[in-house]
Amino acid sequence: MRRYLVAGNWKMNGTLASAQELARAVAEGVPDESSQVDVLICPAFPHLAGVKEAVGNARVRVGAQNAYHEKPGAYTGEVALEMLVDLGIDAVILGHSERRHVLKETDELINRKVRAALEQKLQVVLCVGELLSEREASQTEAVLDRQMEGGLNGVDASQMNQIVVAYEPVWAIGTGHTATPDQAQAAHAHLRNWLSSRYNPAVAEGMQILYGGSVKPDNAAELLAQPDVDGALVGGASLKPELFQPIIQAAVDAAQ
């Protein structure tokens, strides 16, 4: 059986002090290993080291929200994957819709980052998801296929245990419009089928596919109950322990 992963994407929020306080609250409530639920928190770059320290030995992974694929050097303003490794960071979110649509990242650039992150042995949370206009034009599956093909170009089956896929319909991110459990399940099942044909059934079966897009305590249980939903990537609600903790608990309950 696949484990659940609940990941918090803190985006460009907080101060060092508030990020550390939030990290300590998450660490205090983290379920133990036997729950089959893992927790990942992803603060902004300047808060990574402080959050890592705040988490201490608790069973909470710390990830970045982005990184640059080139080796350390003359890339003003960028952050190398090697720097994340040096801080003891466990994971990196790549291809988030805000980076695709606001920062104009292409599948090709995301793929470079994915391959470089895999080389550094970081866990990659690869985000994919369609715009509302694409869903309305019945393009959801074609968009997911293109983003998966593009993002995973040159990645072989032996590396896939370092990848987590996050299905995040763009129209559901930060909007309060969550995908229905059926919509989420259909997209996740499509992604798992894609993984099975592009790689093999074992890769598809083992892959954690997270749902992201306005996950809240009141919709988490239904989403996590879907057979192909293996966790959540949570934005807004991950900034408040009183909202994030019940989502983690919903995963613990779903894993029973």
**Given the rule CB under 6 A, which residues bind ligand PEP?**
9, 168, 173-174, 212-215, 233-237
Identity of the residue, 89 or 237, whose beta carbon is nearer to ligand PEP in the bound complex: 237
Identity of the residue, 22 or 203, whose beta carbon is nearer to ligand PEP in the bound complex: 22
Residue 67 host element (H or E): none
Active site residue 96: yes
Active site residue 168: yes
Identity of the residue, 134 or 168, whose beta carbon is nearer to ligand PEP in the bound complex: 168
Give SS3 for 78.
coil
Q: Locate tokens 């379920």: which residue?
A: 31
Measured from the CB of residue 173, what is the shortest distance to ligand PEP in angstroms?
4
Rg (CA), the chain: 17
Measured from the CB of residue 98, what is the shortest distance to ligand PEP in angstroms?
7
Measured from the CB of residue 94, what is the shortest distance to ligand PEP in angstroms?
12
Residue nearest to ligand PEP (CB): 235
The answer to whether the beta carbons of residues 3 and 37 sit under 8 Å apart is yes
Measured from the CB of residue 16, what is the shortest distance to ligand PEP in angstroms?
21
Structure tokens at 92: 């990196």
How many other CB atoms are there within 10 angstroms of residue 242's CB atom?
9
The answer to whether the beta carbons of residues 7 and 210 sit under 8 Å apart is yes
Measured from the CB of residue 65, what is the shortest distance to ligand PEP in angstroms?
9
Label residues 134-164 b or e (16+ Cβ within 10 Å = b).
bbeeeebbebbeebbebbbeebeeebbebbb
Identity of the residue, 9 or 185, whose beta carbon is nearer to ligand PEP in the bound complex: 9
Identity of the residue, 51 or 80, whose beta carbon is nearer to ligand PEP in the bound complex: 51
Residue 210, beta-bridge partner list = 166
d(CA 166, CA 233): 7
d(CA 118, CA 155): 9
Of residues 128, 135, 66, the one with CA closest to residue 103: 66
The active-site residue out of 47, 69, 96, 188 is 96
CA angle 154, 156, 160 (to 5 degrees): 120
User: Which active-site residues does the annotation give?
Assistant: 96, 168
